Structure 1
Amino acid sequence: MSRFDFTFQQDSEDNTGGGDRFPSRLKEHDQWLVTQDKKPIVPSEGWQKSVNQLAFTEAQSKAEQLGGAVAFCFTEGGPFIGFDLDDVKEGGEFTNEALGIVERLDSYTEVSSSGTGLHIIAEGDHSDDHKHRGDLSEVGHLEVYDESRYFALTGDVYGGFTSVESRSTVVREVQDDHLPESQKFSFTGQQKPVSEQGFDGGKTGATPEQVRRTIEEYGKCRHTDVDHTRVIHWWRGQNGMKTSASEADMAFIEQLYFWCQGDQQLMDECFRTSGRMRPKWDEVHYSNGDTYGERHIRIACRRGDDEFDGRYVQ
């Protein structure tokens, strides 16, 4: 077979219609959503959190009931990476450049819902050295994600690439060849005014002092498994069993996600009133303008899958 002489074929497990069109490797993971017009409807919000994502069979059933489509979500720390080749047809045919990427990755490939793009899913990681999006040299562009994104899948398998394969080396090489390098960022210690830091919040109506007292009171109850001592130590500025202040910061913020019910604004206020607060919290540490505090709160919110559902001590 020549380099671009692809043929369509049916696979007995993954391409026989219905749910069997999708790779079994993906169906093993509870990382599915239901979409309509590429927008998530089940769940309609909070789809980034693993607790809200569905098993494949549940997603497929709901999609059939609602007239939607299933989508696979890429999650932080997961093994999968997605390549979205958009608008890569010219004269009614996929370009040689797009087909070259398909052949190199040699993993699950499908035609997108528009009919003019391709989805490729493999095992590998996005390179921090590259941006997520790049224009291709012929037509169209390529986007690459391994977390906080989803593909609305069609199951319209292309070229007989029916299974998800581990391609870590090639995944990196394709990014090297087709994605621009990330902007290099040098930390300058620049402070970002609090008024310019954007946090969602205000839903709890609680204060940092009420949160702190609630943690202490719940910790006194023998019928709970709350390790309030550890959290309060972090609140006071101690590192506890953590090897560094930064590691203790992250652990404390992840606890704040639970106790603040995911309220980013309240999480920020709690940290500012704690003994951990220092100028670093408001320093811009990332090339997109995020401060140390903004980035850590957003990471905690992506990871969090449980929230306090009791009443705050007044």
Structure 2
Amino acid sequence: MSKTPKQPKVKTVKDLYYGDQNNKPAVPKVILASIPDGLKAIPQWIGWRFYWDQKGQRWAKVPRNPRLTMEKNAKSDDPETWWPFESTLASFRSAYRNSGETFNLADGIGFVLTKNSGVFGIDIDMCRDPVTGALSTLAKEIVREFGAYAEYSPSPFGIHIYARGVRPDGYRCKEKFSDGQDLEIYDDGRFFTVTGLKIPPEALA
């Protein structure tokens, strides 16, 4: 009896966005004034850049060490690869200027989540219409529930929330919904990109 041929995976909009090796995803300019001062005051900042993941055949993000002008990777479990906000920003600007047109040592800045920082992060993916920018009902409800600083992620699909405390009881680290949305909550051992693209109140209406 012959086997049924395996059907090719149907590519999603996100797959197409991240899956073209010759088309690196665009990165929005960081709006520094929107980033909360309380977050800036915690010296756990890094850079990050897109790199082509040959195995996964997609663009992925890797943390970069601001102490070394973004020339090597940072580690979310090694404080020696993090820096204060202003120092990281200066390192990012220097690295970006010196990277050339086709390769950037860093594409943006990010924040490392640790239990000692008193901040946890929520990442909701595939919750935003890439054309209209409209947020899903789930995303709106979670932003309202936590009442914390929320911003659009570098991609046109997701958002990040930075809240005080540790990961709440009852929330798993990762949860995938049937409509394709992904929810991740971390308070340790992860880095989040930071854009400063604050979600305005009218987007939650």
TM-score band by shorter chain is 0.5 to 0.7
**How far is the alpha carbon of 1:131 from its aligned partner?**
2.8
Q: Which has the larger radius of gyration?
A: 1
1:40 aligned to 2:63? yes
In 1, the alpha carbon distance for the partners of 2:32 and 2:138 equals 30
Q: Which runs of 5+ in 1 are unaligned?
A: 1-16, 162-314
**How far is the alpha carbon of 1:52 from its aligned partner?**
2.5
SS at match of 1:89: coil
Which residue in the other structure is 1:97 paired with?
138
Q: How does 1:226-265 map to 2 (within 5 A)?
A: none
Higher relative strand content: 2
In 2, the alpha carbon distance for the partners of 1:128 and 1:103 equals 18
User: Which region of structure 1 is more displaced relative to structure 2, 80-89 or 34-43?
Assistant: 34-43
Identify which of 57, 80, 95 aligns with 2:119.
Answer: 80
Identify which of 65, 77, 90 aligns with 1:61.
Answer: 90
Q: State the structure with bigger RCO (CA 8 A, min sep 6), 1 or 2.
A: 2
Q: How does 1:1-314 map to 2 (within 5 A)?
A: 18-37=31-50, 38-42=61-65, 44-67=73-96, 68=106, 69-90=108-129, 92=132, 93-127=134-168, 130-136=171-177, 138-159=179-200
In 2, the alpha carbon distance for the partners of 1:39 and 1:99 equals 28
In 2, the alpha carbon distance for the partners of 1:133 and 1:47 equals 18
* Structure-2-length-normalised TM-score: 0.64
Higher relative helix content: 1
Question: Does the aligned pair in 2 maintain the 1:135–1:141 contact within 8 Å?
Answer: yes
Aligned partner letter, 1:28 = A
1:132-188 CA-partner distances (Å, limit 9, x unpaired)? 100235441100000100111111111259xxxxxxxxxxxxxxxxxxxxxxxxxxx
In 2, the alpha carbon distance for the partners of 1:49 and 1:76 equals 14
Percent identity of equivalent pairs: 25
Aligned residue pairs, count: 145
**How far is the alpha carbon of 1:77 from its aligned partner?**
2.7
In 1, the alpha carbon distance for the partners of 2:128 and 2:39 equals 27
Q: Which runs of 5+ in 2 are unaligned?
A: 1-29, 51-60, 67-72, 97-105
Question: Does the aligned pair in 1 maintain the 2:42–2:117 contact within 8 Å?
Answer: no
Aligned CA distance change for structure 1 residues 145 and 131 (closer, same or farther; 3 Å): same
1:22-74 CA-partner distances (Å, limit 9, x unpaired)? 11001111000011123112151434222331000011111112223110100
Aligned CA distance change for structure 1 residues 144 and 134 (closer, same or farther; 3 Å): same
1:179-238 CA-partner distances (Å, limit 9, x unpaired)? xxxxxxxxxxxxxxxxxxxxxxxxxxxxxxxxxxxxxxxxxxxxxxxxxxxxxxxxxxxx
In 1, the alpha carbon distance for the partners of 2:35 and 2:153 equals 13
In 1, the alpha carbon distance for the partners of 2:136 and 2:196 equals 21
Aligned CA distance change for structure 1 residues 45 and 18 (closer, same or farther; 3 Å): closer
Please identify runs of 4+ aligned residues in structure 1 that moved more than 6 A.
Answer: none
**How far is the alpha carbon of 1:96 from its aligned partner?**
1.1
* Structure-1-length-normalised TM-score: 0.43
